[in-house]
């Protein structure tokens, strides 16, 4: 079992380096970002569901027959006494916003790589792909102690800035604004709705521990104006304990849990806990029109995204 306690420096299974993430650039051109539905083509080079404006306001002109009533500029109309319509200029790039879970439970694996390493590699691949498609890249990294957002920008520097955040975190010893706030998944998703612009393509990479009704509500709100992709990260042992009987010890250096696989009642509860979270995410994605992707710690992140 991989754990922080037995890790060694520079072990690529338990930590990720900036060099590792930069090296993923050569694979970025092999992936196409997700487009669940088809409404309008962006100049960024792929078809978008285009749920928000995805546009920059340019001017207001007098209303003409056939104009969308939702585009009426009510302030100008009230001021002039004549109906005016807002005219928008299509943006050159689509904002791609990547949220990455770095909570304690993500620093775990029994085979393959830590969930946190897999999440960072998936995020890196998505960032390089967005760059190759001419889109702006921004993101969010969060743990129990901090939550940091980077505004979408274009160019290689935006990608490197995001990758640097993935590697260094934000000094987990320091909370945002010096406060001692504890961040839950619910809090993080609420912030996400505030930091993403309509028309963005949003990836959330997490094991989604702590998903509840409030968190689902924030995801539903986000999905109204953005394309949302949920990437569910898990370790094989979280899904199924080994078939042979025995006692399995889990530790994060501070706490310890022992599961006896001979205890059928507890074993069933263990399996049911994972199954419920998985099913909840699947149903949420189906109901809200989200893309749902699963990725195990033993899988190649490139193949997962393909």
Over residues 50-71, the pLDDT tens digits come to 444 446 666 788 887 777 788 8
Question: What is the structure's pLDDT at 24?
Answer: 94
pLDDT at 43 over 50: no
pLDDT tens digits along 275-301: 899 999 999 999 999 999 999 999 999
CB 3 within 8 A of CB 248: no
- On the question of pLDDT at 37 being above 60, the answer is no
Q: What is the pLDDT of residues 83-92, one digit of tens each?
A: 988 876 555 5
Query: What residues form DSSP beta bridges with 249?
Result: 258
- Percentages helix, strand, coil for the chain, rounded to the nearest 5? 40, 25, 35
Q: Which of 85, 87, 89, 117 is nearest to 102 (CA)?
A: 117
As a whole number of angstroms, the distance between CA 99 and CA 222 comes to 13
| pLDDT at position 33 | 78
Q: Name the DSSP class of 106.
A: G
Token representation of residue 35: 């487009």
Q: Is the dihedral of CA 27, 135, 114, 175 positive or negative?
A: positive
User: Over 90: is that where the pLDDT of 35 sits?
Assistant: no
The pLDDT of residue 162: 97
Contacts of 207 (CB under 8 A, 6+ apart): 101, 105, 106, 115, 232, 233, 234, 238
Residue pair 297/114 in contact (Cβ under 8 Å)? The answer is yes
Q: Would you state the pLDDT for residue 61? A: 84
Q: What is the pLDDT of residues 258-278, one digit of tens each?
A: 777 676 777 777 778 888 999
pLDDT band per the 50, 70, 90 thresholds, residue 125: very high
Distance of CA 13 to the CA centre of its chain: 21
CB 211 within 8 A of CB 185: yes
What pLDDT is recorded for position 238? 80
Q: pLDDT (tens digit, 9 = 90+) per residue, 206-220?
A: 999 999 999 999 999
Are 275 and 213 contacting, i.e. CB atoms less than 8 angstroms apart?
Answer: no
SS3 call for 294: strand
Question: Would you tell me how many other CB atoms lie within 10 Å of the CB of residue 177?
Answer: 7
Q: Which pTM value belongs to this model?
A: 0.76
Lowest mean pLDDT of 129-133, 145-149, 172-176, name the range: 172-176
- Nearest Cα to Cα of residue 140 among 47, 234, 216, 222: 222
Q: Give the integer Cα–Cα distance in Å for 65 and 141.
A: 47
Q: Which domains does the chain have, with CATH numbers?
A: 4-37+92-305 (3.40.50.410), 55-90 (no CATH)
Q: In what order do the strands lie in the sheet with 227-234?
A: 147-153, 136-142, 95-101, 201-206, 227-234, 291-296
d(C-alpha 227, C-alpha 126), whole Å? 14
What local confidence, expressed as pLDDT, does residue 40 receive? 35
């Amino acid at each position: 079992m991989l754990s922080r306690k037995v890790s060694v420096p520079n072990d690529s299974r338990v930590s990720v380096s900036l060099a590792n993430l930069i090296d993923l650039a050569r694979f970025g051109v092999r992936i196409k970002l997700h487009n669940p539905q088809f409404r309008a083509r962006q100049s960024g080079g792929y078809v978008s569901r285009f749920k928000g404006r995805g546009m920059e306001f340019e001017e207001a002109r007098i209303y003409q027959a056939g104009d969308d009533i939702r585009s009426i500029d009510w302030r100008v109309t009230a001021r002039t006494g004549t109906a005016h319509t807002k005219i928008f200029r299509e943006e050159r790039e689509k904002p791609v916003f990547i949220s990455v879970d770095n909570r304690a439970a993500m620093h775990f694996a029994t085979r393959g790589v830590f969930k946190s390493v897999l999440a960072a590699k998936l995020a890196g691949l998505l960032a390089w792909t967005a760059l190759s498609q001419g889109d702006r890249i921004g993101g969010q990294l969060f743990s129990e102690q901090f939550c940091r957002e980077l505004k979408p920008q274009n160019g290689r520097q935006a990608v490197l800035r995001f990758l640097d955040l993935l590697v260094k975190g934000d000094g987990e010893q320091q909370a945002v604004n010096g406060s001692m706030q504890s961040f839950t998944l619910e809090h993080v998703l609420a912030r996400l709705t505030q930091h993403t612009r309509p028309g963005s393509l949003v990836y959330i990479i997490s094991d989604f521990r702590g998903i509840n009704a409030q968190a689902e509500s924030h995801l539903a709100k986000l999905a109204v104006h953005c394309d949302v992709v949920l990437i569910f990260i898990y370790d094989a042992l979280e899904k199924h304990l080994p078939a042979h009987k025995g006692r399995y010890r889990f530790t994060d250096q501070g706490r310890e849990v022992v599961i006896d696989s001979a205890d059928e009642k507890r074993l069933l509860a263990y399996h049911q806990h994972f199954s419920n979270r998985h099913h909840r995410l699947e149903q949420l994605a189906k109901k809200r029109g989200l893309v749902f992707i699963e990725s195990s710690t033993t899988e190649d992140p490139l193949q997962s995204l393909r």
